[in-house]
Every structure is written in C-alpha cells, then in structure tokens.
A and B are shown apart, each in its own frame.
Chain A
C-alpha cells in the first residue's frame, strides 16, 4: 500500500445538508480507510443516497467538509445562499478519483458499451485512446459482457447495463468507488450477476461506499455497516457487531423486515 494508513480515503466531517427548510443530513462524520467496504443502510428517505452524493459533490453540503485522500473539496457555504463548489478543476480531479455507479445505470445512450468505457478516460483524463480500448476490452471480459462491446445500452438487459456501468467506473482507475443502490432497479434474477462483480471488487481491496438494500451483501461482503435514520447515523460497526448486537431499536426493526 502506497498510502500512509493515517490518511482516510474518504473523510466526512460534521456534514449537514438541507433542501430549503428541510434538513436531510444532521452532523454526519464518517471516515473510510483505504480498502474498507462500507455498506450504508437505511429506509428510503433516511438520507443515505444524499450522503453518498455529497462524496462527489452531486449534492453540495450546506455545512461540514468532505475530503478525498486528505484533500477537502473547496466549498462556499453561507446560510443565505445555496452552497457551491468554488474550484472546478479540483472538483473534476477529485470526482475522477471517486467514480459512481448509479441505480439507473446512466450509461450514455448514444455511445456503444466500449465507447462508454473509454469516454471519460480519453476526454477527461486525456489518456491514450488505443491503450484505453485495450483496457476496456479486458474490463468487459472481466464483468462478463465482452461480446456486447459494440452494442448500445438500450439493447442490453438491466444486469448487463449495470455491469457495463461498473466497468465504466473501473476504467477511470478510481481510488474509491461509490455505489448508489446498484441493484435496486434490477429484476431479482439479475441481481446476483451484479453482486458477484461487486464482491470480486471488494475482495481486491478497493475502497467502496455502497448504498444498498442487499442485506446479504452488507452482512457478508462489507467490512463495515452504517445505518442512517432520518439523517442521523444510528449504527456504525462491523457487520458482525451490528447485525448480531444492534444498539439501535430502529435498526433492529429495519433488519427484521428484511430477515424473512
């Protein structure tokens, strides 16, 4: 490991997020060490997706800081104006290090699968196109859709689209991967193929923040589980700790709903 263990991959400190008068995240602090796989659980409306979107500034927090490997996003936060990012170059650089996989895939529909994979590496990171293509082909092989390289997203199943989207995220050589309910839009029989790819990534020691409803993934794959309720962190620990001995009554109720 080249990174000193004291620098967190993601550090969220005293973060607050409001939509108008509605406060959706209250004083959130969370540190992800390199190699950690953190599952973020919570009922819908608990703020878990918003929290994840604050890590790459798709949502700009109204208070608090977010740092990627020790570098904090430069923000302008004042009570009477919407919060905003002040340094666009830094924003783009940090975003490329923490790539996101979306619930609804969000592949670029006018590009083929292969073109989707090389788009940002070539046009954002200015890497060599040929090298990117070779690498993209290897990534597609890895997620099991090498035969779909020239297909357009609309011609793929949901599971294939999400695997392509994960390959697209990997093509950026990210230090951190953010998953926003990656299996929630999939038919039950397609969930397994996406989870398998994510399990392999976790085994490689990648830093992953995963917002999910998959209790199996949270329990068996992640190294840490965070439970959000109404914008507060209610539970934070290893899967063994939180699942066998939940401190929060709400988390107890939450897992009992999924334990049928």
Chain B
C-alpha cells in the first residue's frame, strides 16, 4: 500500500468537504452571538460600576481559565442532570448537540472577545474623546461616531486571531457526535484505519477556511486604516 494514495486523498477530501457547512454554521452562530455577549461584557467592564464590573470579570475569569472541552462536556452531559431544566423551554435546544456546541463556543469566545473589545475602546486617544465632549457630543453620539469606528480598527488584529481560534475550536464539537469536518474525519478513520491521509485532508480544509478569513479581515483592516501613516519598523534607508 502506498503511503500517500492520491485517489484516496481526493475521495477523503470530498467526503470531508461535506462537513464544511456544519463547521461554518457553528462558527457563524458562535461568532455572532459571542460578539453580542462580548459587547455587553465589555460594557459592564467599562461601566465604572463595581458590582457590574466584578460580574463581568468573574465571567471572563471562569470561561478563559477553563478548557473549552470541559465547558462543552458540562453543557452537553451535565445539564441533563437537572430535572427543572429538562422541563423548561430551553430543553428542546439543550438536548441537541448542535445547540450545546454553539452555546459552549459562544460563551467561550465571548470571554476572550470582551477583553479584545475593552482593549480597543480604552486605546482610543483620550484627547479625541475630550474633544468630542467639548463639542457638545452626548454619550451615544460619542460612542457611535468617535469611539466605535476607532475601537473597531484597533481591535481588528486581535479579533481576527479570535475568529481563527473559533474556527479551529469547532473541531471539539466532534466529541459530542457532531459530524462537522473533524467528526467525519474520525468516522472515516474508524472504518479505513488511515489517519495520516484523512487528518492531512482535514487540516488542509481548516487551513483553507482560515486562509479565506484572514484574507477577508486583511481587506477590512486595510479599508479601515486609510487614515494611518504607514508604519515602517525596519531600520535603515526605508525608515
């Protein structure tokens, strides 16, 4: 048997591609809901209200400090222990691995993203915020017109990191029976015993997905950075 069988590689690749829609769905759901929750958490952190700040801090501490896999297992295996929950409106969702995976990814990415958002907001130069106040801007206008556009640009490099991490984290959903790219890969291995080809294909798919995401974000970043002077860190004649 050839170590790398090209036709087998091709078949495997196509088989794994059927998992892409689910991988993308899990990513999209957790990113959007996670971003909303992160904005709320960042707002609490920046509220200046001690109890609210402590609440957000506690949340971030727990969800950043524990493994995503543990969070996923607690949600998927643990929640069913509570009869009250099994009788509640949420149960039709929480018994589905699809929603459990989405929820775990959302809660986890929200913790990281909240700190990214907070970092972006506090990096907006104070003088510009002061100028906006001195020109009669109210809180909402200030946030919408001055802080948000600059904070988004400032947090984009860190946030694209987070997006990539979420795409890769969806692989953990395979441990709770989800047939996304990694789930399909595991199943194929159990019947073919050819982990090398299969995992190479799975890795290539994740690379491809993340490549597209980084490209897209780079475009956005470039568009938002028209106001920046080119930063040249190299020493010597270009500087």
Name A residues whose Cβ lies closer than 8 Å to a Cβ of B: 56, 58, 88, 92-93, 95-96, 99-100, 102, 104-112, 119-120, 123-125, 152-155, 168, 172
What are 29 contact pairs spanning A and B, CB under 8 A?
Answer: A56-B134, A58-B133, A88-B138, A92-B137, A95-B134, A96-B135, A96-B136, A99-B134, A104-B127, A106-B125, A106-B130, A109-B128, A110-B150, A110-B153, A110-B224, A110-B227, A111-B227, A112-B227, A119-B135, A119-B145, A120-B136, A120-B137, A123-B137, A123-B141, A154-B228, A154-B229, A155-B229, A168-B135, A172-B135
Which chain B residues lie closer than 8 Å to A152 at the CB level? Answer: 226-228
Most chain B beta carbons < 10 A, residue from A105, A109, A153: A109
Given contacts A153-B227, A154-B228, contact A109 B136 (CB under 8 A): no
Which chain A residues lie closer than 8 Å to B128 at the CB level? Answer: 106-109
Name B residues whose Cβ lies closer than 8 Å to a Cβ of A: 125, 127-128, 130-138, 141, 145-146, 149-150, 153, 224, 226-229
Q: How far is the CA of A168 from the CA of B145 in the complex (A)?
A: 16
A58 touches B135 (CB 8 A): no
B131 touches A106 (CB 8 A): yes
Which chain B residues lie closer than 8 Å to A120 at the CB level? Answer: 132, 135-137
B227 touches A93 (CB 8 A): no
Q: In the complex, how many angstroms separate the beta carbon of A65 from the nearest chain B beta carbon?
A: 19
Known: A100-B134, A106-B130. 18 other contacts (CB 8 A): A58-B133, A88-B138, A92-B138, A93-B136, A102-B127, A102-B134, A107-B128, A108-B131, A108-B132, A109-B125, A109-B227, A123-B137, A124-B137, A152-B226, A152-B228, A153-B227, A154-B227, A168-B135
Which chain B residues lie closer than 8 Å to A153 at the CB level? Answer: 227
A123 touches B130 (CB 8 A): no
Q: How many contacts between A and B, using CB within 8 angstroms?
A: 72
Q: Is the interface of B mostly helix, strand, loop or mixed?
A: helix
Q: In the complex, how many angstroms separate the beta carbon of A44 from the nearest chain B beta carbon?
A: 18
Q: How far is the CA of A217 from the CA of B133 in the complex (A)?
A: 28
B127 touches A106 (CB 8 A): yes
Q: In the complex, how many angstroms separate the beta carbon of B38 from the nearest chain A beta carbon?
A: 22
Which chain A residues lie closer than 8 Å to B132 at the CB level? Answer: 108, 120
Q: In the complex, how many angstroms separate the beta carbon of B220 from the nearest chain A beta carbon?
A: 14
B153 touches A124 (CB 8 A): no
Q: How far is the CA of A123 from the CA of B83 in the complex (A)?
A: 53
Q: Nearest B residue to A171 by beta-carbon distance?
A: B135
Which chain B residues lie closer than 8 Å to A95 at the CB level? Answer: 133-136
Contacting A92 at CB < 8 Å: which of B136, B224, B226?
B136
Which chain A residues lie closer than 8 Å to B137 at the CB level? Answer: 92, 120, 123-124
Q: In the complex, how many angstroms separate the beta carbon of A123 from the nearest chain B beta carbon?
A: 5
Q: In the complex, how many angstroms separate the beta carbon of A17 from the nearest chain B beta carbon?
A: 17
Q: Nearest B residue to A125 by beta-carbon distance?
A: B136
Q: How far is the CA of A125 from the CA of B224 in the complex (A)?
A: 27
Which chain A residues lie closer than 8 Å to B130 at the CB level? Answer: 58, 102, 106
5 tightest Cβ-Cβ pairs between the two chains A and B: A96-B136, A152-B227, A106-B131, A120-B135, A106-B127
Most chain B beta carbons < 10 A, residue from A56, A112, A168, A172: A56
Which chain B residues lie closer than 8 Å to A107 at the CB level? Answer: 128, 131
Most chain A beta carbons < 10 A, residue from B128, B131, B132: B131
Q: Nearest A residue to B138 by beta-carbon distance?
A: A92
Which chain B residues lie closer than 8 Å to A109 at the CB level? Answer: 125, 128, 150, 227
Q: How far is the CA of A104 from the CA of B125 in the complex (A)?
A: 11
Which chain A residues lie closer than 8 Å to B134 at the CB level? Answer: 56, 58, 95, 99-100, 102
Q: In the complex, how many angstroms separate the beta carbon of A189 from the nearest chain B beta carbon?
A: 21
Q: In the complex, how many angstroms separate the beta carbon of B37 from the nearest chain A beta carbon?
A: 26
Q: Nearest B residue to A93 by beta-carbon distance?
A: B136
